[in-house]
Amino acid sequence: MDKYSEKIINDIIGGKLMHLKSGRPFFSESFDVSISHKDNITEVKMVLSPYRVGIDVESLFPGIRAELFLSSVIAREEIDLLNKFQLENGCSLESAVAVFWSIKESFFKCLDYDLKPGKVRILDLSKNGKVRVILLPEIKNVMRRRKLELFSTGWLIKGEYVYTETIMKAI
């Protein structure tokens, strides 16, 4: 994160933003915060306890060869949905992969767990921005141990970027 963005965040929270060992931002037990930046965009989202948040912003034109990332980001069971998303939104394979990647990135940032895209599968992306996912047993177990439940996952395309967020609730 650039110095300007960090100063704005520190001004908003009225103190210095710290980071946990995992790199997750932290400043208070009363709030949870997530930060994402891409190009000249910095996004910050805060939620009150007992909620946790993870956000991500990605370019829809990432300049990658999507076929190189397919096997590491997209599960075989998601291919039909990826193709459907491409057709319905009139976007390239690269843009569709960026959206799926961003959804999974926000999930793992919220969980504060190593990014393992294959452990969360996207079942549906609605036009109103809601996302339905299926969690594989490893992730279910992590959430159970951490006493978290999935509250919501969403996506929004604005201009040349996709913005995603995942919110979990401590139970």
Residues 6+ apart with CB under 8 A from 72: 117, 118
- The pLDDT assigned to 18 comes to 83
Question: What token pair was written down for 23?
Answer: 């790199």
What is the residue-averaged pLDDT of the chain? 90
CATH number 3.40.50.150 given to 3-170: no
Q: Is the pLDDT of residue 69 over 80?
A: no
- The pLDDT assigned to 1 comes to 62
**Total residues found in the chain within this entry:** 171
Helix (H) or strand (E) holding 10: helix 3-13
- Sign of the CA dihedral 62, 63, 66, 70? negative
The predicted-structure confidence for 21-45, as pLDDT tens digits, reads as follows: 888 888 888 889 999 989 888 898 9
Domain range annotation of the chain: 3-170
- The pLDDT assigned to 8 comes to 75
Contact 69, 168 (CB under 8 A): no
Radius of gyration of the chain (CA): 16
Kindly report the pTM of this predicted structure.
Answer: 0.92
More confident residue, 59 or 25: 59
Task: Work out the number of other CB atoms within 10 angstroms of the CB of residue 137.
Answer: 8
Q: Is the pLDDT of residue 64 over 80?
A: no
Is residue 9 classed as helix, strand or coil in its secondary structure? helix
